[in-house]
Structure 1
């Protein structure tokens, strides 16, 4: 069954690759981007590939932009848009933390509420929240981001249980990517060094931290988005999606072990 699927944050990375994959399978894909230049670039890419995508700018933090989807008869909403932030909770500016929560949690839920009005009325639909395995285990210096994913995973699981009580055939699932090489992780970890400065508690450790981060990403990051895109497609097409879809599987397995042993 071909579906009408909207994905946020489709200008690059996992979101973009998922849009291509879903369109290739014959779905009607609405690929939305943070700003108009990204939208224009994506339209050009789709035209050059001969791929039918509907593309428009959807800044999920804008109430006016969110209202654009109210009239759409969506079968699936993929909440992929998100931002990263890093730094120690002992000193990170709270405005930075508030901003990442605003995008990754509050705006995501606000957009979901708009989509749910139609889904509940039509008594069918699927909402996917792109969380992260960072939302399952504490990760030092990544907590401004990871906390939003902990919260988003809890929100998705709770919303799934609530909608079951309505018996409206609207489903919720979590997509939990591991470390995948799209450039997102590097940009996020580098961000803290723009503000830490010489008075940071961790200024004397900054060079060691940078080296450790580089080694970790070189070792852990999957070189392709293929595995997580396959999980996104599986969840979007499922009649009754399960709660969690994780990839790469080995990273998900590592997180399970870390939680069991209290690492």
Structure 2
């Protein structure tokens, strides 16, 4: 059955690749971006690839943009839009922490509530939250991001239980990407160096930290989004999706082992 699928943050990375993959499978894809400029670029790419996408601006932090989606009969909402932020919790500016929670949790939940109004009225629908493996294991210097994803994962699991109790055929699932080479990880880890200075507790370790981060991502990152996009397609098309969809699977397996052994 072909579905109407709305994707946030579809201008780049996982969101963009998922939009093209789902459209090529015959679904009606509403591919939304944070800015008009991103929409323009995506339209050009869709035209060049001869793929039909309905593209428009949707800044999830703006109420007017969120409410506009009520006009669409959305079968699947893919909450992909998000931001990254890094830095030690001992010194990171709290406004940065508030901002990442505003985007990754509060605005995402507010948009979901708009979509759910229509889904509950039609008694069908699926909401997918793009969380992260970082939302299951604390990661030093990535905790602003990790905390927001911990909270999003908890919200998704709790909402799933609530929708099951409501019995309106509303499905909720979590998409949990590991380290994938889209440029997002590099931008996120680099964000702390924009404000860290000589007074930082970790200033004397900054160069060593940068070297370690580069080496870690070179080792860990999957070179393609194909694995996680395949998981998104499975979740979007399932009549009863699982709670969690993870890729690369080896990273998810590693997280489970670490928890078992108390690491």
In the superposition, the TM-score normalised over structure 1's length comes to 0.99
Q: Alpha-carbon deviations, 1:39-65, whole Å to 9, x = none?
A: 011111111111110000000000000
Aligned to 2:169: 169
Give 1:21 deviation, angstroms. Answer: 0.3
Give the corresponding residue for 1:245.
Answer: 245
Unaligned runs of 5+ in 2: none
Which SS does the other structure have where 2:224 is aligned? coil
- Residue 188 of structure 2 corresponds to which residue in structure 1? 188
**Cross-structure match for 1:94:** 94
In the TM superposition, residue 72 of structure 1 has moved relative to its aligned partner by 0.7
- Report the counterpart of residue 10 of structure 1 in structure 2: 10
Residues 229-248 of structure 1: CA deviation (Å, up to 9, x unaligned): 00000000000001000000
The corresponding residue for 1:112 is 112
> Bigger CA drift: 243-252 or 40-49?
40-49
C-alpha distance in 1, partners of 2:129/2:35?
21
Query: Can you list the C-alpha shifts for 1:168-187, whole angstroms capped at 9, x where unaligned?
Result: 00000000000000000000
> TM-score with structure 2 length normalisation?
0.99
Q: 1:204-243 deviations in whole A, cap 9, x for unaligned?
A: 0000000000000000000000000000000000000010
Q: Does residue 206 of structure 2 align to residue 209 of structure 1?
A: no
2: CA distance, partners of 1:14 / 1:114: 23
Residue of structure 2 equivalent to 1:31: 31
RMSD over aligned Cα, in angstroms? 0.4
Counterparts of 2:125 and 2:242 in 1: how far apart (Å)? 14
Equivalent position of 1:150 in the other structure:
150
Q: Match for residue 200 of structure 1?
A: 200
Alignment correspondent of 1:83: 83
**Number of residue-to-residue matches in the alignment:** 263
Q: Where does the alignment leave 5 or more consecutive residues of structure 1 unmatched?
A: none
Deviation of the 1:4 alpha carbon: 0.3
Query: Matched residues in 2 for 1:92 and 1:67: separation?
Result: 33
**CA–CA distance in structure 2, aligned partners of residues 71 and 34 of structure 1:** 19
Equivalents in 2 of 1:163, 1:26: separation in Å? 28
Question: Cα deviations across residues 149-201 of structure 1 (Å, max 9, x unaligned)?
Answer: 00000000000000111100000000000000000000000000110100000
1:79 deviates by 0.0
Moved more, 148-157 or 47-56: 47-56
Segments ≥4 residues shifted beyond 3 Å: none
Name the SS for the 1:255 alignment partner.
helix
Structure 2: distance between partners of 1:36 and 1:63: 17
Measured after TM superposition, the shift of residue 111 of structure 1 is: 0.1
Paired with 1:241 and 1:145, the residues of 2 have a C-alpha distance of 26
Distance 1:17 1:243 in 2: 22
Secondary structure at the counterpart of residue 70 of structure 1: helix
Partner Cα distance (2:196, 2:40) in 1? 36
